Structure 1
Amino acid sequence: MSKRAVTALGRLVKPLATAALLLAAAGAARADALESLRDFVREAKTGRAAFTQTVTSPDGAKKKASSGNFEFSRPNRFRFEYLKPYEQLIVGDGQKVWIFDADLQQASSRPLAQALGSTPAALLAGGSLDKDFNLSNLPASQGLEWVQALPRDKESAFQSLRVGFKGRALAAIEIVDSFGQHSRLDFNDLATNVSVAPEDFKFVPPKGVAVVE
């Protein structure tokens, strides 16, 4: 597996990568973020959004930015399409998670259960929140209400997760991995319970592409 594919798998599949769900903007006006997260996981069945991602080194000295589009369809189907600075596709088809690097002409896959675990993907894919995470509200900051999610699995690749809501809408996810690297995903124009095409969550390696299972 290429270094770029491993990096992508680490930041989206284990960090994040499967589905993301948002709840429709309805309900109590002053509900806390934890309530919003529970409603979000329970009620949003499909969705799409544009996203930007910023990865910061443990010492804060280096930052890398990327952007693209995201779709999900519960359970466990999602699509992250990176457009900048280079093209890359991450697809969860319900059984496997695929990563396709167009520049390298290489595709890799892992069984979904191995790729998710106690990760942001598992949290957003609608698994058992309280089984996989210790959840708590955090003080509001940056104009958002935050939930902290600490993985119960001691072997998790993450130290901590924060999920940010603006009102009832999912707005951001912040991840600190086991090496102290920070990743933040910001969602834009997020729409939920919309029509999504089933074929968007299928991946067939193009002819001539090397496949690593």
Structure 2
Amino acid sequence: MATFSSPKLARLTPLAQLRAGRLPRRLIQLFVGLTLFGLAMAGFVRSGLGLAPWDVLHYGVTLHTGLSLGTVVILFGFLVLLLWIPLRQMPGLGTIANVIWIGVAADIGLAVIPQADSLPTQLALFAGSLLVNGFGGGLYIGSQLGPGPRDGLMTGLHARTGVSLRLARTGVEVSVLAIGWLLGGIVGFGTLLYAVAIGPVTQLFLRFCIVELRAEHPAEEAPTPAA
């Protein structure tokens, strides 16, 4: 009879992720988490208080191309995956689902969430979106089916260049934030609040969302995810 490890994130190859057990439960959790993550992205846009660094870039591109936010999120997801090739990163099922489904959910959210028209409404919508974002992130990370493309880019840079994970994350996110701001993306108080709060919020939910896998797979402590 198979035994299960304590709830920690495991170091798994893409194939091992699929063989690690409890796949139906993990797939459901993955797509629920990605859906919530995309809806939260739309909530941040409708709050008007600021977006996460990558979403500042995504939104700035929508202003100049006429593409929907979700479409831009999907396109950039695939572009980031191309950067995985020289970094020798292998995407898992969850990575591919992340690229596609978050963008779809974001466009659905923008279609149903109204624009906040007063400061109390903006604050409430932003705070709610932050919690939903953290919960969604905890769910999809905890499903252990592969990191998101942007998270994988940062960990790949860390692994291949020796640059600290913190420096890799900061460098990438500052760069995309600056480009997005120049393109007209929404930067505001919420951008700073997101940068400070999303790690602890996601970590809070993640401890309850990690699906236990078979004990033969080596595990590591759950890291704070990138936005």
Q: Give the alignment's TM-score, normalised by structure 1.
A: 0.28
Q: Which has the higher helix share?
A: 2
TM-score (norm 2): 0.26
Structure richer in strand, relative to its length = 1
